[in-house]
Chains A and B, each alone.
Chain A
Amino acid sequence: MSSIFRLYPDCKLVPGASRAAIYDLTRNKIHIVPKEVAMQFEGDCVDFDMLSDEVGAEYRESFLQQELGRFNMPPEINPISEEYIHPSIISNAIIDIGKEDMPLAKIASELSDLLCDTICLRFVENATTEMVLATMRCFMSTSARSIELCLKYVDGIEDRIIEILRKIHLCTRVTVVRAPARKVELIQGSVPVRYTETGFNCGLEISDCDYSKYASANLSLYNESLHFHNCLNRKVVVDRYGYIRNCPEMGETFGNLCDGVSLSEIVKSEPFQKKWRETKDAVPHCCDCELRYACQHCDIVSSRCTYNVYSLRP
């Protein structure tokens, strides 16, 4: 039997500064491997005989048990294309709703033309149920497959959320900020409602270094991360005043919808898309992290990441 072990095409070795990870993109698992094992890999193949007896035996056993690949891989098994295939120009949009008048119908229509599939509506001021429903209805007949809702905590919000979910089936996730306590509930069987003590944050809250919380090993995210910034790519934010941004946390703005500019034109422009192509390979700290193609933690707020890529050992 050959001593060369080849990873299945859906298992990817990603080296970091002090160790490496094998992403199992089918089973959404990340296996940490020491640098000495990772360094023996040539492409997707490793020869365990090149390792010390003990280490070789340990990882041979572990890789076989996890079914990460096999000896004598049939030659007709092909690699998976690393192209990121997605039809949308914008895949996700965050729209902030305050007290100001917003051209919601125009935004909805433009997002539909951009084939946006996920829309997150963040009510940055307290809003009545009627106002939330009326706003959500503007986005009902668009390309969106899912609408996420972000609300400020008020007493009795649970009942209001139930009423909203009963009326708007496209709503797939709710976040309640400034809540008295952190918890997650499932409403109507499947819609997660997440209560958090913090305010409006973009993306993920990083407060410890448990990577399993924000790393996800899947093919789409992996391929996107190889070519694009996996948080900013195909994302647009319209803040409560109508300013167009890449991210709520970023200061730079690209025109104001209330001045009549076209959302479509802005998001197709080179300056707006520049950030999309900045992969984590170019971001200090992230570029040395073995989780960079699975972690959607945004480097814009990377000071919050405490995962020390230089000192960790398996």
Chain B
Amino acid sequence: MILLLSSDGDFSTDLVIQWLKSFGYTSYFRLNLLDLVEKDVEIDPAEGTFSLNGERIALNTINVVWYRRFSGFSLSSHYRKVKNELGERAAELLRCELQNISEFFEQMLPNVPIIGSRIKGNTNKLIELHTAKKVGLNVPFSMVLSRRPKLLKVRAKHPRLISKSAYNTRSIELEDRYYSMFTTRVNDNDIASVDICFFPSLIQEEIKKDYEVRIFYFLGKFYCMAIISQGNPQTEVDFRKYDDKLPNRFIPCEIDDDTKSKIAIFMSEMGLNIGSLDFIRGTDGLLYFLEVNHMGQFGMVDFPCNYGIHRDIARTLMEMDNITRNEHSR
């Protein structure tokens, strides 16, 4: 059986399940994280079984797991309610409780192939840069700094700098407005106005880009997409500042075999078998690694490039399920 660990309303999971159904495949079970909160759940850790609304699943019947956004509690109404009534610390405590319960599914299945991972998935951008460099990928000059004189020194060598978050992009709510952490240029005014000592910040050299590349990596397969954003000042530095009137072009592209094998080593060193990698194709023709996102939105690669990624994932899950089942029956 295929176990899909997901969240309610995740479109990619919905679509992969549609493909499974269209292939006539019924041997799957979808568990959304909030099911654990909202439905009648029973987990027997000693026996290795769980049941949801009375439907009992023995973990030893699961042959492959797709770990796809098994999260979302902190965005739920349950979290908000506890936060409002008992405060943020209580809500966080419940989040941790649920996290431990959810990790049970991953840790109880050590011999089952798992696509994606919560435990290995939260990678660190600095480690990513270090590993990318180690396996031979090009990385932009990057430095975490906290003193203005050092920043000036770096600027003298790399006139075009950007600042980006070291942690995952998150939005913050301040006085009913949402603020997102986008990658931004560090200009003269920023440097003039920053304190001599500032909060440690990740500074990177801005690569003059021809276009951006997003690569969806899935068990050794590469689905590459060029993002043509250079002509648009709004999306020039960070394509996520979407321009609805003049959308960037997301078009298929190829990368060389040498880079592919380096990426495969990189992913293996990071413990990832699925993820979206961001690169820049510099005007010098080189590909520069920026970061990897283990939960990457591959729909944004699949639909504009018409790769059929969701169908491929469904087929792969079915194959893996069948292979493992046959091994067991031998």
Contact partner, B254, options A76, A80, A223, Cβ 8 Å: A76
Among B248, B250, B255, B306: residue with most chain A CB under 10 A: B306
Residue of chain B at shortest CB distance from A24 = B249
From residue 9 to 23 of chain B, which have CB atoms closer than 8 A to chain A? 15, 18-19, 21-22
Which one of A83-91, A151-159, A294-302 contacts B? Answer: A83-91
Is A74 engaged at the interface, CB distance under 8 Å to the other chain?
A: yes
Whether A79 touches B18, Cβ cut-off 8 Å, given contacts A26-B247, A74-B210, is: no
Whether A219 touches B247, Cβ cut-off 8 Å, given contacts A87-B22, A88-B18, is: no
A128 and B233 alpha carbons, distance in the complex (Å): 54
Contact partner, B304, options A10, A82, A89, Cβ 8 Å: A10
Contact partner, A8, options B228, B246, B307, B311, Cβ 8 Å: B228
Contact between B255 and A27, CB atoms less than 8 A apart: no
B68 CB, min distance to chain A CBs, angstroms: 17
Whether A85 touches B308, Cβ cut-off 8 Å, given contacts A8-B249, A78-B254, A115-B21, is: yes
From residue 299 to 318 of chain B, which have CB atoms closer than 8 A to chain A? 303-308, 310-311
A143 and B250 alpha carbons, distance in the complex (Å): 29
Is A134 engaged at the interface, CB distance under 8 Å to the other chain?
A: no
Residue of chain A at shortest CB distance from B22 = A87
Contact between A81 and B306, CB atoms less than 8 A apart: yes
Is B33 engaged at the interface, CB distance under 8 Å to the other chain?
A: no
Contact partner, A89, options B22, B226, B231, Cβ 8 Å: B22
Is A255 engaged at the interface, CB distance under 8 Å to the other chain?
A: no
Contact between A26 and B250, CB atoms less than 8 A apart: yes
B235 CB, min distance to chain A CBs, angstroms: 13
Residue of chain B at shortest CB distance from A70 = B228
- Provide the B240-257 mask, 1 if CB < 8 A to any CB of A, else 0: 000000111111111100
Contacts of B18 in A (CB 8 A): 87-88, 115, 143
Contacts of A82 in B (CB 8 A): 306
- Provide the B205-216 mask, 1 if CB < 8 A to any CB of A, else 0: 000001100000
A10 CB, min distance to chain B CBs, angstroms: 6
Is A250 engaged at the interface, CB distance under 8 Å to the other chain?
A: no
Contact partner, A223, options B210, B252, B306, B311, Cβ 8 Å: B306
- Provide the B21-39 mask, 1 if CB < 8 A to any CB of A, else 0: 1100000000000000000
Contacts of A223 in B (CB 8 A): 306
A76 and B281 alpha carbons, distance in the complex (Å): 11
Contact between B255 and A26, CB atoms less than 8 A apart: no
Considering only CB atoms and an 8 Å cut-off, how many residues of chain A contact the other chain? 24
Is A1 engaged at the interface, CB distance under 8 Å to the other chain?
A: no
A220 and B303 alpha carbons, distance in the complex (Å): 8
From residue 185 to 244 of chain A, which have CB atoms closer than 8 A to chain B? 219-220, 223
A78 and B307 alpha carbons, distance in the complex (Å): 12
Contact between A85 and B251, CB atoms less than 8 A apart: no
- Provide the A61-105 mask, 1 if CB < 8 A to any CB of B, else 0: 000000100000010111111110101110000000000000000
Residue of chain B at shortest CB distance from A113 = B21
Contact partner, A74, options B247, B281, B307, B308, Cβ 8 Å: B281
A219 CB, min distance to chain B CBs, angstroms: 6
Is A34 engaged at the interface, CB distance under 8 Å to the other chain?
A: no
Contacts of A87 in B (CB 8 A): 15, 18-19, 21-22, 310-311
- Provide the A105-131 mask, 1 if CB < 8 A to any CB of B, else 0: 000000000010000000000000000
Whether A27 touches B253, Cβ cut-off 8 Å, given contacts A10-B304, A85-B306, A219-B304, is: no
Contacts of B231 in A (CB 8 A): 67
Contact partner, A10, options B19, B251, B307, B308, Cβ 8 Å: B251
Whether A80 touches B251, Cβ cut-off 8 Å, given contacts A27-B246, A85-B308, A85-B311, is: yes
Contacts of B250 in A (CB 8 A): 10, 26
Residue of chain A at shortest CB distance from B255 = A76
A60 and B155 alpha carbons, distance in the complex (Å): 39
Contacts of A76 in B (CB 8 A): 226, 253-255
Contacts of A56 in B (CB 8 A): none
A77 and B281 alpha carbons, distance in the complex (Å): 12
B52 CB, min distance to chain A CBs, angstroms: 17
Residue of chain B at shortest CB distance from A220 = B303
A26 and B246 alpha carbons, distance in the complex (Å): 9
Contacts of A26 in B (CB 8 A): 247-250, 304
Residue of chain A at shortest CB distance from B20 = A87
Residue of chain A at shortest CB distance from B307 = A81
Whether A10 touches B210, Cβ cut-off 8 Å, given contacts A85-B311, A219-B303, is: no
Contact sample, A vs B, 24 pairs, CB 8 Å cutoff: A8-B251, A9-B252, A10-B251, A10-B304, A26-B247, A26-B248, A67-B228, A74-B211, A76-B253, A76-B254, A80-B251, A80-B304, A80-B306, A81-B306, A81-B308, A87-B21, A87-B22, A87-B310, A87-B311, A88-B22, A115-B18, A115-B21, A143-B18, A219-B303
Which A residues are closer than 8 A to B by beta carbons? 8-10, 26-27, 67, 74, 76-83, 85, 87-89, 115, 143, 219-220, 223
Additional 6 contacts, C-beta under 8 A, given A10-B251, A26-B249, A67-B231? A8-B228, A27-B246, A74-B226, A81-B306, A87-B19, A143-B18
The 6 closest A-B pairs by CB, nearest first: A78-B252, A87-B22, A87-B18, A76-B254, A81-B306, A85-B308
